[in-house]
Structure 1
Amino acid sequence: MAHADLNLVRTFVLLYETRSVTLTAQRLFVTQPSVSYALSRLREQFDDRLFVRGRNGMEPTVTARQLYPALRDGLQQLEATLASGRDFNPASCTRRFRLALTDLGEMSLLPRILPRLHAEAPGIELEVVALEIDRASDWLASGKVNAVICSRPLNAADVDRRALFEDRYVCLSDPQALGGEPLDLARFSAGRHVVVASASGHDLADEVMRRDGIERKVSLEIPHFSVLPQILQGSDLLAILPAQIASDFAARSSLVVSELPFPVPPFEVALYYQTGAERAPAQRWFYEGIVAAIGDQHA
């Protein structure tokens, strides 16, 4: 792009990622006509429509798809370089950070993270995005989110990782579901189970059961962990979930925590972000704040 205007590049990248003129305008803090004008200039420079209206918003053309990786990477490198030359002051920061979490993360981690960040930067905005584990790496690559916290490893080449804490899986149930008896493999297999959809990334126990040929009767599948206490209370259902949140649920109810009757290795919850993002002071502050907040919780 000869004589490239940085604002045009930002507009192109955001429009590609959001597929929306409205969202692009909101994130750039400009009007929608300003985005439309920028798009018309981009079309002139590249002699291509770049984006056309479709059922899912502004759909990129073949040319736009070819341009996006280079423009995105170049924009990130340039912004990181510019940011590194400025002093970052959290107290005056007003930018929005986007963090992908499961509902478990919202319940157990967000109450620690938010006060820590706002204590240093009261003007920031934190947007929590519901985690879809199979899309997490793409979200980081496209800039849809600044960071992801999850238990399933993200193995993309351009993603960095910071370990946060270790946990393990247990079984949570109403006492009547076990009749006062310990949970053995026979009772586990004969019982009725409620499972949380695999989009949360908490499917390690299921992988072990498939590998070892352990069967169970799934009577209910739900998208979130947060409703489990209400479902399990007074029922004969069993649920597998991380030990830390299971203990919290049990402490607030009559539910009981049992060890699983088969070995499942512990898992590590980690913070993921795009490689190189730490070079930007604001991003580095955001990541370090999250690590410190959760480290305080699990110290």
Structure 2
Amino acid sequence: MRPIDLNLIRTFVTLYESGSVTLAAHKLNVTQPSVSYSLSRLRELFDDPLFSRTRDGMAPTFCATQLYASFRHALTQIEHTIGDHQHFDPRHSQRRFRLALTDLGETTLLPVILQRIQTLAPYVELEVVPLEIEKINAWFDNKSVDAVVCSRDIMTPSLGKRVILEERYVCLLNAQHPRIEKTLDMNTFTHEHHIVVSPSSGHGLAEDVLKKHDISRKVSVVVPHFSALPRILENSELLTILPEQIARIFTREAALQICELPFDVPNVEVALYWPRHADDSSAQEWFRQTLIEAIAPEHDTQGPSGEI
């Protein structure tokens, strides 16, 4: 098989992500005919049209969609390897970082993270990956994710860890709940119906406390994301447990109220995790430090490797 020009792979990935020959040429700093010529070579190589012109841009074929996942991963690996052996200049870098967050993290943390990155590194790309706790070690092993922010304690020696903030859990419910006003006792808590966010979201400490103390309640529905809660709670008499920071955001979006839980739940530590093999990368170090400065600037008295 003939060797494949890596520039063709970069052109393919850029065209797939931009959906436009014009935009791809601009991002690659080449002419449009150059992109079209590369696309012709790729079509010949894979014996597939790969993209078709539509009113909304260049639509990928099934073959192109299959190729993209492998090509994007390979290209990211190459870029990371090169970047790890070069001085990282955030002002000019076009590197893409991948960060795993819960939907709660997307709501509360992502805005300040983006603001910080765009201020320091206007050309850097950030891809947010929905957090799946059981996949974290595999993600780091294959270098498909650069960092994770979550509240679950991940006990893996190969990972670096830095606690970046603390949260506490509260109960959130309809502001006009017919049986609850400002306080919530244990009897009411256990007899009311609840909506629960799946433990795979990364927030399960309150659920662990309930099991430990054998506190049972009536669960009516389980949802995978926190973002579903405001409208459901506003239009029902359900209760839910969630971190206070997101609860306060939800009270500004819907007619909801916060009540203290009728049992003790320890404060939860939200931590940044990263693979230790990335400790010697200037790009990775910059990314971790930027996340810390964005999320918890008042606590940034040590480097990102300050806690193990």
Q: TM-score range by the shorter chain?
A: 0.7 to 0.9
- The equivalent of 2:6 in structure 1 is none
Distance 1:165 1:182 in 2: 27
Distance 2:196 2:79 in 1: 43
- Deviation, 1:201, is 1.5
**Structure 2: tracts of 5 or more residues without a match:** 1-65, 301-308
- The equivalent of 2:131 in structure 1 is 131
The Cα offsets for residues 229-284 of structure 1, whole Å up to 9 and x where unpaired, read as: 10000311000000111011113332110111001111100100001312111111
Instruction: Spell out the pairing of 1:251-290 with structure 2 (5 A cutoff).
Output: 251-290=252-291
2:161 matched to 1:161? yes
- The equivalent of 2:50 in structure 1 is none
- The equivalent of 2:151 in structure 1 is 151
- Deviation, 1:91, is 1.1
2:240 matched to 1:239? yes
Distance 1:284 1:223, change over 3 A: same
Distance 2:219 2:104 in 1: 21
Farther off after superposition, 201-210 or 134-143: 134-143
Distance 1:237 1:298, change over 3 A: farther
- Does the 8 Å CA contact 1:112/1:297 hold for their aligned counterparts? no
Instruction: Spell out the pairing of 1:79-228 with structure 2 (5 A cutoff).
Output: 83=83, 86-177=86-177, 178-180=179-181, 182-228=183-229
Distance 2:175 2:223 in 1: 21
User: The residue matched to 1:91 in structure 2 has which SS?
Assistant: coil
Distance 1:84 1:145 in 2: 15
- Does the 8 Å CA contact 1:80/1:279 hold for their aligned counterparts? no
User: The residue matched to 1:138 in structure 2 has which SS?
Assistant: helix
Distance 2:271 2:92 in 1: 28
Distance 2:190 2:133 in 1: 28
Q: How many residues align?
A: 233
User: The residue matched to 1:227 in structure 2 has which SS?
Assistant: helix
- The equivalent of 2:40 in structure 1 is none
The Cα offsets for residues 49-74 of structure 1, whole Å up to 9 and x where unpaired, read as: xxxxxxxxxxxxxxxxxxxxxxxxxx
Distance 1:297 1:243, change over 3 A: farther
Distance 2:254 2:80 in 1: 48
1:263 maps to a residue whose letter is D
Distance 2:69 2:212 in 1: 44
Distance 2:298 2:226 in 1: 21
TM-score by length of 2: 0.71
Distance 1:169 1:122, change over 3 A: same
User: The residue matched to 1:276 in structure 2 has which SS?
Assistant: helix
- Does the 8 Å CA contact 2:231/2:254 hold for their aligned counterparts? no
User: The residue matched to 1:251 in structure 2 has which SS?
Assistant: helix
Identical-pair percentage? 44
Distance 1:279 1:79, change over 3 A: farther
**Structure 1: tracts of 5 or more residues without a match:** 1-19, 31-77
- Deviation, 1:155, is 0.9
